[in-house]
Amino acid sequence: MFQKILVANRGEIALRIICACKELGIATVAVYSEADRNSLHVRFADEAVCIGPPRSSESYLNIPQVISAAEITNVDAIHPGYGFLSENANFAKVCEASEITFIGPTAEVIEMMGEKDRARREVKAAGLPTVPGSDGIVEGEDQLAKEATKIGYPLILKAVAGGGGRGMRIVRKRDELLSMYQTARSEAQQAFGTPDVYAEKFIEHPRHIEFQVLGDQHGKVIHLGERECTIQRRHQKLLEESPSPAMDAKSRKELGAKVVRALEKIGYTNAGTVEFLMDEDGSIYFIEMNTRIQVEHPVTELVTGVDLIKAQIRIAAGERLEEAVGEMTFSGHAIECRINAEDPDTFVPSAGRITTFQAPGGTGVRVDSAAYADAVIPPYYDSMIAKLIVKGRDRAEAIGRMKRALEMFVIEGIKTSIPLHRKILADPDFSAGKFDTHFIEKLLGTNGK
Ligand code: ADP
């Protein structure tokens, strides 16, 4: 087992990883930017190294700085969390070259899944159903026209290097095709440094359903059930739950077995998430794979009893899944609300000083956060400041528990998305489990916002 791990992240996930290390008896090193000097991940790590100015490009994304911090403090491994360097294959390679274990899959697999058109081809060959679309990059206008005829309308153009819900364009009719292609390419170039896009059938009313997986370094992969992440705004997840109200035991077993087989074929190691869209008739299609721990991992932890971060660390240290995971039984229902520092009506980020921070507690409530009263939320990073997660014996109990926990969560000094979550939880279609990715638009529309 590792003696010391560097946590290459900030905020709640850095703290979450530090908690797991403490429980495993592993020493920790935090890295931080000048804006994060007073952060809790710095306070609770055994050592901390400042890696640069506030901007992520100069600190949390600065590979030479992170690696120097790891070398100075003599760590055995680096946990990248999510975002920042977590899906950067080059970073995984640099770790390997520096003889530091990267806690995640191999650089080759990160690279494969990071090219979204290639990921589609690979998982299709390994037996997963993919959204009908182009087999690779759409190279030029002739191919574009051919693919559009094959796929039909509406279709969606997606950046090969896309992520975070960005770099997507829907094309509804033939005469928009060329201009949308050009816009998608230039947006992709700007956001991701490459203009390449691929095309997929646009599914009008999908649900987003994803499988959590773990693979060890001995060739074995397991799945830990699915998460429902359909409640999104601008393709960004707001609320997640497990299990999905749209999956039954039979479909879970069938798709779960396919996911496991495909990833064993690919040689997947460590934690990962296989994302699917489900259309109105219940057909399910792969869209992408994330080769890291996800923001929404706690809902899976609550229904399986597995500590996913500890499992990641143990797998990276060479343990077999049987040891790394232990007993796993599915029980109950879990929901997570992402609490963002933003105006709940306009969604404008709301940085600044938190004056009151009173987190709810009691049976079945978990709060993952690095925020506290008097903390200053800097404007430089993601606006998510807390995750409120509840577990109930069934979905109805989890909804009731989440409603009261949201009511008892007091954050003052900045604006947060708590009022939006209260609206979601109060909606009858949400309670009935009847929704698609347009739920939020409809919810805000009917409220005149
Ligand atoms: P990212 O890597 O940016 O998260 P994804 O491929 O995971 O991109 O897609 C993010 C979201 O965009 C999905 O959850 C879904 O809401 C929407 N989306 C993506 N592909 C399609 C599609 N073919 N049809 C309809 N919606 C889609």
Say if residues 216 and 272 touch (Cβ distance below 8 Å): no
User: What contacts 434, CB < 8 A, 6 or more positions away?
Assistant: none
Task: Count CA atoms within 13 Å of residue 121 on its CB side.
Answer: 13
Task: State how far the Cα of 325 lies from the Cα of 252, in Å rounded to an integer.
Answer: 20
Nearest CA to ligand 1 atom 15: 235
What tens digit of pLDDT does each residue of 119-140 get?
999 999 999 999 999 989 999 9
Given a cut of 60, is residue 40 above it in pLDDT? yes
Ligand 1 mean position to 275 CA, how many Å? 9
The yes-or-no verdict on residue 448 having pLDDT over 60 is no
Q: How far is the CA of 188 from the centre of ligand 1 (A)?
A: 15
Which two structure tokens, joined as six digits, stand for 125? 């060959």
Q: Which of 292, 314, 338, 401 is catalytic?
A: 292
Place of tokens 């479909």: 251
Residue 7 · residue 18 · CB < 8 Å: yes
Q: What span, in angstroms and rounded, lies between the C-alpha atoms of 295 and 270? A: 16
**Which of 234, 287, 290, 296 is the pocket-test mutation for ligand 1 (most atoms within 8 Å of CB)?**
287
CB atoms < 10 A from the CB of 18, how many?
26
Residue 70: band (very low, low, confident or very high) from pLDDT cuts 50, 70, 90: very high
| Residue 163, Cβ density class (10 Å: 0-12 exposed, 13-18 middle, ≥19 buried) | middle
CB 304 within 8 A of CB 330: yes
Smallest Cα–Cα separation from 215: which of 259, 278, 154? 259
Q: What residue ranges line ligand 1, CB within 6 angstroms?
A: 131, 156, 162-166, 200, 202-203, 206, 208, 232, 235, 275, 277, 287-288, 437
- Tens of pLDDT along 220-240? 999 999 999 999 999 999 999
pLDDT recorded at residue 419 = 98
Mind listing the pLDDT tens digit for each residue in 340-379? 999 988 999 999 999 999 999 999 999 999 999 999 999 9
Ligand 1 pocket: which of 236, 277, 286, 436 to mutate (most atoms within 8 A of CB): 277
Burial of 194 (0-12, 13-18, 19+ CB in 10 A): middle
Query: Is residue 184 within 8 Å of 202, Cβ to Cβ?
Result: no
Q: Specify whether 292 is catalytic.
A: yes
Query: 333: helix, coil or strand?
Result: strand
In angstroms, rounded to a whole number, what is the distance separating the alpha carbons of residues 196 and 198?
7
Q: Is 192 helix (H, G, I), strand (E, B) or coil?
A: helix
Residue whose CA is at the smallest distance from ligand 1 atom 11: 235
Q: What percent of the chain has pLDDT over 90?
A: 96
For the beta sheet containing 365-369, the strands, ordered from the edge strand earlier in sequence to the opposite edge, are 284-290, 270-278, 207-215, 221-233, 236-242, 333-340, 384-392, 365-369
Q: Is 391 helix (H, G, I), strand (E, B) or coil?
A: strand
